[in-house]
Amino acid sequence: MASKKNLTERMSKLGMAWAGRSDKYVSPDDPMGDQVRGRKTYHVHPDASWPEVTAILRFDTLRELGEYIEAREKADALNAQGDHGGAMRTMDWYFEAASH
């Protein structure tokens, strides 16, 4: 498993950033049910140039965050090769798998 430092470096290369802090926490902007249960998650801005609270992604584990980063890296590589459809499918597959 990648270290938090390694994940942070990879996030930076992708233009991502921690949302507020890099530990697990409950945010006042999290869904109310999660706030009531005290569900702590890692909060990430997928695009640090647009750090909108509605765009924050939440991850229960660093492993889950690493899987998202891997998908983004693959999608970025496909985009760089001009395969924009492949990049979109990569992220679609990621989100489909993550929702189960």
- Look at residue 67 in the predicted model and tell me its pLDDT: 97
Residues 6+ apart with CB under 8 A from 30: 39, 41, 58
Average pLDDT of each block of 10 consecutive residues along the chain (100 residues)?
91 96 96 96 96 94 97 98 97 91
**Nearest-10 crossing angle of helices 62-80, 4-13:** 30
* Degrees, nearest 5: CA angle 18-9-99: 55
Do residues 15 and 48 make contact, with C-beta atoms less than 8 angstroms apart?
yes
- Look at residue 49 in the predicted model and tell me its pLDDT: 95
- Look at residue 99 in the predicted model and tell me its pLDDT: 82
- Look at residue 81 in the predicted model and tell me its pLDDT: 97
Give the strands of the sheet with 57-59, arranged side by side: 17-18, 42-45, 57-59
